[in-house]
């Protein structure tokens, strides 16, 4: 006597999955989903680019109106309004730029031109981008790098990654705080480090710090607003450059971020 298995309703025929769909059908479904995801990424990139163009013009005009010669003709209230607009536009531009870069990374549209570049040039150019913010908060950036080491990486990408790390350190450090920049050799890589004495990161958030999903707007110690995407993008860009990005942190104990890039010649 043969007993039927009531739980078994699928077809175990060759070329069939447990759901009964053929492998060819599954492959077609996967390809369809891939194309749909690609289309969404393309659309996101186009929309972001279209938003960034007028935003750049508005930001430029706002900064023009805040120049000493123009400000002298404005009331204190008007100047305050323009300064508020300027800060808001900077945050808006940063968010759009982050989204556009993330879209390029997802679509594999990031063009790299790696070459042998000095760590000093990467560090100094990145420092120039965050120095004004650091001075505004009274934060001292101490560079402990004195060597002549080189990394093999794309100059613009390496600088953008390191500038993001510095900006995060300044953003989450208290007024009057300190940020330390260092650089060391590790086998066939160079490790560029940013250490701060800021608020630190809780373990639950630290475990998901590089994940894109569930990202929320972040706030610095002076209520600076961030998109929460900076480290996600920096991690992916570092891997794309043949390196990596790692991080250690604890609440109240500051944060240490390490950018590892291939050693140059």
Dig out the tokens for 113 from the structure: 């031109």
Report d(CA 93, CA 88) in Å as an integer: 9
Structural domain contains residue 77: yes
Please indicate, yes or no, if residue 182 is contained in any of the structural domains.
Answer: yes
Last residue in a domain, options 107, 127, 153: 107
In-domain check, residue 164: yes
Q: Are residues 67 and 46 in the same domain?
A: yes
Determine the 3-state secondary structure of 238 from DSSP: helix
Asked whether residue 1 is assigned to any structural domain, the reply reads no
Residue 197 and residue 87 share a domain: no
Domain of residue 182, CATH code: 3.30.565.10
d(CA 134, CA 126): 12
The residues pairing with 22 across neighbouring beta strands, listed in sequence order, are 16
Task: Give the CATH number for residue 91.
Answer: 1.10.287.130
Are the CB atoms for 170 and 133 separated by under 8 Å? yes
- Domain check: are 196 and 145 in the same one? yes
Give backbone dihedrals phi and psi of 130, rounded to 5 degrees, phi first: -115, -5
- What is the dihedral angle through the alpha carbons of 191, 129, 171, 160, rounded to the nearest 10 degrees? -50
Residues 86 and 150 in one domain: no
pLDDT, one tens digit for every residue, the chain (265 residues): 444 444 444 445 545 444 455 667 666 666 666 666 666 666 666 666 677 778 888 888 888 888 888 878 888 899 889 888 888 887 777 777 777 777 777 777 777 889 999 999 999 999 998 998 899 899 999 988 877 899 999 998 899 899 999 999 999 999 999 999 999 999 999 999 999 999 999 888 888 888 876 566 677 777 776 667 788 888 988 998 899 999 999 999 999 999 999 999 8
| Residue 167 and residue 79 share a domain | no
Report long-range pairs for 79-86 (Cβ below 8 Å, ≥24 apart). Answer: 86/59, 86/62
Query: Which two tokens mark 126?
Result: 């990145």
Alpha helices in 108-171 (DSSP H): 119-136, 155-171
100 shares its domain with 172: no
Query: Alpha carbon 159 to chain centroid distance?
Result: 12
156 with 119, same domain: the answer is yes
**pLDDT confidence of residue 227:** 63
Q: What's the pLDDT at 119? A: 93
**Which residues constitute the domain of residue 43?**
23-107
Instruction: Report the SS3 class of residue 259.
Output: strand
Same-domain pairing of 78 and 132: no
Which of 107, 124, 143 corresponds to the end of one domain?
107
Q: For residue 222, what pLDDT is reported? A: 75
Q: How many domains does the chain have?
A: 2
Please indicate, yes or no, whether residues 156 and 253 belong to a single structural domain of this protein. yes
- Angle between helix axes 230-240 and 155-171 (nearest 10 degrees) is 150
Q: What is the pLDDT of residue 249?
A: 94
* Angle at which helices 76-107 and 230-240 cross, to 10°: 40
Q: Domain end: 75, 107, 139, which one?
A: 107
On whether residue 5 sits in a domain, the answer given is no
Determine the length of the chain.
265
- 76/172 same-domain check: no
Rounded-to-integer distance, Cα 185 and Cα 243, Å = 13
Residues 126 and 179 in one domain: yes
């Amino acid at each position: 006597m043969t007993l039927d298995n009531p739980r078994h309703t699928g077809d175990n025929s060759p070329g069939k999955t447990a759901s009964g769909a053929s492998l060819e059908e599954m492959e077609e479904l996967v390809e369809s989903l891939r194309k749909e995801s690609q289309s969404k990424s393309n659309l996101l990139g186009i929309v972001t680019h279209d938003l960034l163009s007028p935003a750049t013009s508005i930001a430029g005009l706002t900064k023009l109106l805040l120049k000493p010669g123009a400000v002298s003709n404005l009331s204190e209230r008007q100047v305050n309004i323009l300064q508020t607009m300027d800060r808001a536009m900077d945050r808006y531009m940063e968010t759009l730029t982050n989204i556009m870069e993330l879209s390029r990374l997802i679509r594999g549209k990031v063009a790299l031109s790696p070459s042998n570049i000095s760590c000093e040039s990467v560090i100094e150019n990145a420092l120039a981008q965050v120095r004004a913010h650091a001075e505004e908060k009274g934060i001292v950036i101490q560079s402990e790098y004195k060597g002549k080491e080189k990394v093999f990486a794309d100059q613009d990408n390496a600088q953008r990654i390191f500038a993001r790390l510095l900006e995060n350190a300044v953003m989450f450090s208290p007024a009057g705080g300190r940020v330390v920049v260092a650089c060391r050799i590790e086998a066939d890589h160079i490790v560029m480090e940013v250490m701060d004495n800021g608020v630190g990161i809780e373990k639950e958030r630290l475990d998901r710090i590089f994940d894109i999903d569930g990202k929320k707007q972040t706030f610095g110690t002076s209520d600076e607003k961030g998109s929460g995407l900076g480290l996600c993008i920096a991690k992916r860009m570092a891997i794309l450059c043949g390196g990596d990005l790692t991080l250690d942190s604890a609440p109240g104990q500051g944060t240490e971020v390490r950018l590892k890039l291939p050693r140059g010649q």
